[in-house]
Chain A
């Protein structure tokens, strides 16, 4: 089955800094998503990105499916960006989705 590994496990930054979160997956996938879990436990879908690059405001993501990795970029970090970022992958939405263990991001004011 698919293995998903995320790095780094923890990241502490000052407000305004930029960050890059990485997700490696063990097999070819057709479904790759990034989520943000806020301190209240709510999981928000950031990107559905099985390949290519997408941008949404200060966030962008790139997936290189042939090399089995995805990157999430956060620019000009704000304290509200704090939380845990998860990468999740599956062969398709019809198959089970496997989550990585997450990157815990803390943005200091």
Chain B
């Protein structure tokens, strides 16, 4: 049973560029959440997708956008990259159908460096 998979594992971009990160949820999960973790800090919630719609959003600018596909996989897009966007980006999946409360399962993350 595959867990949450993210790609790529590492990425280096230049200020002003755009980036797309990808996530496939754990088998049986239908909800995907994205988190940004800066060095030395806890993960910060970016947004959550369920049924191909953004359901919840944290305090992140519109430069951060996402998408969920019919197979529940998801993409995180960041436009006009800033140096401060350098971080570990984590994807987490859970199931919303079975219960309103279920544990989160995280992928290994994508480490984005903006130069």
A97 touching B33 by the CB < 8 A rule?
A: yes
Within 8 A of B (CB), among A38-78: 40-45, 48, 50
What A residues does B33 contact at CB under 8 A?
A: 96-97
Q: Is the C-beta of B72 less than 8 angstroms from some C-beta in chain A?
A: no
What B residues does A99 contact at CB under 8 A?
A: 35, 42-45
Interface size of A in residues (CB-CB distance below 8 Å)? 25
Tell me the minimal C-beta distance from A99 to chain B in angstroms.
4
B109 touching A41 by the CB < 8 A rule?
A: yes
What B residues does A43 contact at CB under 8 A?
A: 43, 90, 106, 109
The A interface, classified by DSSP as helix, strand, loop or mixed, is loop
Interface size of B in residues (CB-CB distance below 8 Å)? 31
What B residues does A45 contact at CB under 8 A?
A: 103-106
Interface flags for A83-109 (1: CB within 8 Å of B; 0: not) read 000101000111111111110000000
Residues in chain B within 8 A of chain A (CB atoms): 31, 33, 35, 37, 41-45, 48, 50, 55-58, 88, 90, 94-96, 99-106, 108-109, 111
Residues in chain A within 8 A of chain B (CB atoms): 30-31, 33, 35, 40-45, 48, 50, 86, 88, 92-102
